[in-house]
Amino acid sequence: MRKQRRQAYQAIKEACQNHHGWETILLKYVGASRQAYHKGINRKQTVQEKQDTILKTEVKRVYEKHNGSIGAGKILTNLKHENKLGFKITLKKVRRIMKELCIACKARVKKVNRQKKEEQYIQDNLLNQNFSATKPNEIWLSDSTQLEYGLKEKHKVRLSGILDLHGRYLLGYIITPTETAEAEKAMFEEVFEKVGEVHPIVHTDRGPAYVSLSFNKLLAQHQVTRSMSRPGTPFDNSPMERWWNDFKLRWMNLHPTPATLEDLKKLVEEGIDYFNNYDRSDKINGLTPAEHRSKAI
């Protein structure tokens, strides 16, 4: 007889002790006949079930004796040392009994969260979804997206970019096999050299590259103000996400998949040139991002 059914029969027996007539109702609810119920209730425990009953008592006793600070291994060691049970016990059996009793060691060694360990530099979301900039180089957004190339065998790369929130002008980009702090540093160094002495708010997500100490030391040298999206909240960087979305839908997806990495780099360069210098927007009075930027500067 299955364990769940035995437990159901025992529960019915306890519930019906002082309530005549409940037995029929409850048996109908669990889908069991009266004959099966009485047979199950009066059935004798097997040797295994008797051992489990004893072991539950002993496991709980040892567990409580040590204030819940030991696990299955040490409980087994204690029981073997006491040598009272009179039957063989194994680590697997002790673990099963602990699971049935819903108990576990309360003093487990805390696992190291390697991702958290690498988060050496975390900042609040200072931008707070306020996506408005009154002048160029006031707010920069940065993020990366995945691109593919290859006809038969697909290869994946990361395209990182820096977007000036004023006019949605892409200041710089870099294509690398993976997103790394060194790649992001190289991209920002190139943009700072091109743009000159500016001190924008730089907003990113909390990817490993953006929270690295070396990357943020570089930004600190340029006296920027750091802002980071909240965990699991891509909308905190939605203008950058929207730019990537448009770039893929209106450019990459409308061209054949690049056969080589060089083909991909050329296609990306042409696409960024298009969005910066030819894509006009009603939001900036029908100007291109480059015209809007030039006019403001």
- Tell me: do 92 and 134 sit in the same domain: no
If asked whether residues 185 and 223 sit together in one domain, one would say yes
Q: Between 141 and 27, whose confidence is greater?
A: 141
In a domain, 49, yes or no: yes
Average pLDDT score over residue span 259-280: 95
56-61-66-69 Cα dihedral, nearest 10 degrees: 20
More confident of the two residues 191 and 78 = 191
Are 209 and 282 in the same domain? yes
Angle at 206 between CA 204 and CA 212, to 5 degrees: 95
Asked if residue 279 and residue 149 are part of one domain, the reply reads yes
Q: 25-29, 90-94, 249-253 — which is least confidently predicted?
A: 25-29
Does residue 133 sit in the same domain as residue 91? no
Domain-embedded: residue 110: no
Region 117-125: what's the mean pLDDT?
61
- Say whether 158 sits in a helix, a strand or coil: strand
Residue 180 amino acid letter = T
- Indicate which CATH number applies to the domain containing 155: 3.30.420.10
Asked whether residue 135 falls in the same domain as residue 277, the answer is yes
Q: Go through 39-65 and write b for each residue having 16 or more CB atoms within 10 A of its CB, e for each that does not.
A: ebeeeeeeeeeebbeebeebbeebbee
> Does 61 reside within a domain?
yes
Count of Cβ atoms closer than 10 Å to residue 246 Cβ: 14
How far is residue 17's CA from residue 37's CA, in Å, rounded to a whole number? Answer: 15
Question: What domain range is 74 assigned to?
Answer: 3-101
In this structure, the strands spanning 225-228 and 201-204 are: parallel
- Average pLDDT in the chain: 85
Q: Note whether 190 and 271 are same-domain residues.
A: yes
> Of 101, 128, 157, which residue constitutes the final position of a domain?
101
Say how far apart CA 184 and CA 140 lie, in whole Å: 13
State the total domains in the chain: 2
What average pLDDT does range 80-97 have in this prediction? 90
| End position of a domain, from candidates 46, 73, 101 | 101
Q: Look at residues 85, 125, 286, 109 and name the one whose alpha carbon lies nearest to residue 206.
A: 125
251/219 same-domain check? yes
In a domain, 237, yes or no: yes
Q: Is 12 helix (H, G, I), strand (E, B) or coil?
A: helix
The model's confidence at residue 39, banded by pLDDT at 50, 70 and 90, is: low
Residue 243 has pLDDT above 60, yes or no: yes
pLDDT band at 117 (very low <50, low <70, confident <90, very high): very low
Residue type, 26: L
Q: Is residue 193 part of a domain?
A: yes
Per-residue pLDDT reduced to its tens digit, 141-179: 999 999 999 998 999 999 999 999 999 999 999 999 999
209 Rama class: left (phi>0) / alpha (psi -120 to 50) / beta? alpha
**Residue 144 counted as domain residue:** yes
User: Burial code of 170-198, b = ≥16 C-beta within 10 A, e = fewer?
Assistant: bbbbbbbeebbbebbbbbbeebbeebeee
Residues 190 and 130 occupy one common structural domain: yes
Of 48, 69, 101, the residue at which a domain comes to its end is 101
Residue 109 belongs to a domain: no
Same domain flag for 84 and 128? no
Q: Is residue 163 domain-shared with residue 64, that is, in the same domain?
A: no
Query: Domain for residue 87, yes or no?
Result: yes
Does residue 254 share a domain with residue 162? yes
Task: Look up the pTM and report it.
Answer: 0.60
